[in-house]
């Protein structure tokens, strides 16, 4: 009948294996602080989540500037995104101790301030801050079961007034 010749995409065995691996890793407390980078598709919303560089930049690319100032603001933002990306890629290709130390110091400083509850203000661009969500009751969408959701924190970005006006 050919049933054994059928193919399904994505491969359900691979998806189940990846899910089991992630679940076991998380359950045993391994790789704490791991961040999943993806294209923001729902199936990747596990653990700490971040957009990959290309997909983060696409959000800026979708902006439709009207004035010359708005066009400049969008271009500067895109340039900053790709500048940081190029710097990180350069560091990965040629791990220079000085470059590594500078990048690590920048990220450590940002993380330290966020951990203390400080708001990071980037002049002309916006503010990064940690937002807390209280524990709450939710519902498992797959089973409909009522579950308790733990309190959590996330990093939020709020655009500066001037940036919003320009864009």
pTM of the model: 0.38
Q: List the pLDDT tens digit at each of the 167 positions of the chain.
A: 566 666 777 777 777 787 788 788 878 887 777 766 665 565 556 666 665 656 666 667 777 888 888 888 778 777 777 777 777 777 677 777 887 787 778 778 888 888 888 888 877 777 888 888 899 999 888 888 999 999 888 888 888 777 777 66
Which letter, b or e, does each residue of 58-86 get, where b requires 16 or more Cβ atoms within 10 Å of its Cβ? eebeeeeeeeeebeebbeebeeebeeeee
Residue ranges of the domains in the chain? 1-52
């Amino acid at each position: 009948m050919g049933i054994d010749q059928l193919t399904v995409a994505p491969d359900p065995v691979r998806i189940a294996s990846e899910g089991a691996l992630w679940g076991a890793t998380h359950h045993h407390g391994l790789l704490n602080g791991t961040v999943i980078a993806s294209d923001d598709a729902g199936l990747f919303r596990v653990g700490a989540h971040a957009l990959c560089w290309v997909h983060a930049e696409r959000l800026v690319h979708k902006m439709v500037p009207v004035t010359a100032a708005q066009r400049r603001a969008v271009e500067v933002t895109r340039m900053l995104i790709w500048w940081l990306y190029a710097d990180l890629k350069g560091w990965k290709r040629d791990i220079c101790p000085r470059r590594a130390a500078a990048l690590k110091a920048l990220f450590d400083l940002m993380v330290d301030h966020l951990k203390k509850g400080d708001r990071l203000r980037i002049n002309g661009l916006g503010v990064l801050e940690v937002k807390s969500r209280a524990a709450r009751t939710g519902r498992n969408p797959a089973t409909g079961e009522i579950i308790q959701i733990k309190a959590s924190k996330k990093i939020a970005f709020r655009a500066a007034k001037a940036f919003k006006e320009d864009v």
